Chain A
Amino acid sequence: MGMLSLSVEEVKKIAKLSKMDVHGEEEKFAELFTDTLIKIQDLNEIDTKNISETFQVTGLTNIFQENSKENINSLNGNSLTKEEALSNSKETTKGLFTTKGVFIKEEDVS
């Protein structure tokens, strides 16, 4: 098993990776995560040598949609019109979603 505690620094790093604002709550999260990591140590009591993972329980593999005309045209009637797709966005530009800038100038990186 991995480490048994999470520091405030690590919490800040995870928060950044997961785009979560934890300002002022870093210590509380560090404490909670450490507590959880200790509790899940129970797993070490189970020998998993030569045992493979179960990522899913259905046993299904390579499931594709039927290649019918209907599916291609409408994804079973579930494909959205442009208006529907944009209907919940806060801001649109020329019939497209408006996002924040993806690229930032080097000097802005802190």
Chain B
Amino acid sequence: MSLSKLTLIESLDGLKAGKFTSLELTKDCLDQIESYDEKIKIFITVTKDLAIKQAKEADIIISKEGEKAFLKKPLLGIPYVCKDNFSTKGIQTTAGSNILKGYIPPFESTVTKKLKEAGAILLGKTNMDAFAHGSTTENSDFLKTKNPWNVNKVPGGSSGGSAAAVASDMCIFAIGSETAGSIRLPASWCGVTGLKPSYGRVSRYGVAAMASSTDSPGVLSKTVEDSAYVLNIIAGRDSNDATSSHLPVDNYFSDLNDLKTKDKTKFDIKKLKIGKPKSYFNLEFEKGVEEKIEEAIEAYKKLGVKIIEIDLLNPKYSIAVYTILQRSEVSSNLGRYDGIRYGNDRTNFGFEAKKRVMLGTYTLSSGYYDAYYSKAQKVRTVIVEDFKKAFSKVDLIIGPTVPCLAMNFGESEKSSMFGELIDVLAEPSSIAGLCGINVPCGFVNNLPVGFQLMGEMGKESLMLSAADKYQQVTNYHKERPKL
């Protein structure tokens, strides 16, 4: 078996026990990339030589210090991939756009810096919708990434490259980012675990900005346990990101098995109350998808979880709120690309960026600000309060991640707001800054389906524990596509 198929926790155990070296693990991932990337088209940049060099260095440390080395470097020798909107010093970072083609950042993002310091090995930078504008990864200026389960389908986006890399076993874990759905949606369509932490939990420093008030870096992985382990390393306050959270960082990984709830009793799944919002199920589902979500809910009931029907605002309002605030923030954030200090000039912007920047310029402009931007931010308050009310009754909320299966190429061009419509079930929680996670829960027509759990800001531990319990009694997350 190729070592690249291992989960993060299995890889760490193997490295610690000396069953294999980091070089072997890294080479197996690179072999997988070499064998299948031509077909799936995931990588904008592969950092092969650097990865091999770092793996050899990791092996020297492991052979000298043994298991102790992992106390200081909890990801020592672990190969990962990163979405191409994270600044990596000395390594091309394009954000999937021709604007940044050839751009070599002189600085490192906080996330990749923390991973590097923890000993992780970067294998390459993954494809994405240009500037994360999209939900299929088709809007990349460089590649059309395929869904590893069916190459005629899109992987979802905008972190489509990272999701496909995990599903194809080209890495041990992947880093992505989500503004509203960009981790959870591709994770769902590629059949992997996708964690969007609460807004501010993980620093945005060095991530090409899309909508600054909801951008959240996160993890795509083979298991919930793996996501929790990586979150431990990348979470936390960062003086380079003034919006990063001051809330204490939990030990997400050890909490999975030993979570102290509010009343200081151990995490007991039987005491958990999960809300099922009627409005998230009152949608047009693609045939078979709703049944899979209901099966997951049944599995939770069997575990002893109390499922409570709750009322949440119709998610359609979030589409409008998100469209306005995202386009407004995009118009401001993309103002920096002038082609003078770095990158190429503004004629290199693709259609989608033009569309978003221009509408955002309009909604922020004098005379329309109150009608659009201000109104949307007021409705955002209503959405935030709506969730607060729900969380006074339940610990977590469950729903479909997306009501349909991975789509064919070209579908996204059929609507002026495709991404906003397809991400309808991720937008409310993103707007409110909540945490969310996609968990694989079955297959329809040999395409993966996922459900999502959503938790209050800063309640990642509780959410991850509940998601992990589901993976302990199911095997959907272990299924892999035949490449």
Contacts and interface: CB of A to CB of B under 8 A. Distances in A.
Interface of A: 1-2, 6, 10-11, 14-15, 17-22, 25, 29, 32-33, 35-36, 39-43, 45-46, 48, 51-58, 60, 63-66, 71, 75-76, 78, 80, 84-85, 87-90, 97-99
Nearest to B106: A84
Contacts of A56: 213, 243
B342 A88 contact: yes
Given A2-B368, A51-B381, A60 B417 contact: no
A1 B377 CA distance: 14
B375 A36 contact: no
A53 to B, nearest CB: 4
Given A29-B354, A54-B377, A21 B347 contact: yes
Nearest to A63: B242
A102 to B, nearest CB: 11
Interface in B381-425: 381-382, 384, 416-417
A47 B354 CA distance: 32
Nearest to B206: A78
A80 B316 contact: no
10 contacts: A14-B361, A15-B358, A21-B346, A40-B376, A53-B374, A54-B381, A58-B245, A84-B106, A89-B340, A97-B340
B361 A17 contact: yes
Interface in B119-173: none
Interface of B: 103-104, 106-107, 199-200, 213, 239-240, 242-243, 245-246, 316-317, 319-321, 323-324, 331, 335, 339-343, 346-347, 349, 351, 354-355, 357-359, 361-362, 365, 367-368, 371-372, 374-382, 384, 416-417, 432-433, 457
Nearest to B327: A36
A-B pairs with the 6 shortest C-beta distances?
A57-B433, A88-B342, A53-B377, A84-B106, A48-B378, A2-B371
Contacts of B321: 43
B320 A1 contact: no
Contact of B106 (A36, A88, A90): A88
B204 to A, nearest CB: 12
Given A55-B377, A76-B240, A2 B358 contact: no
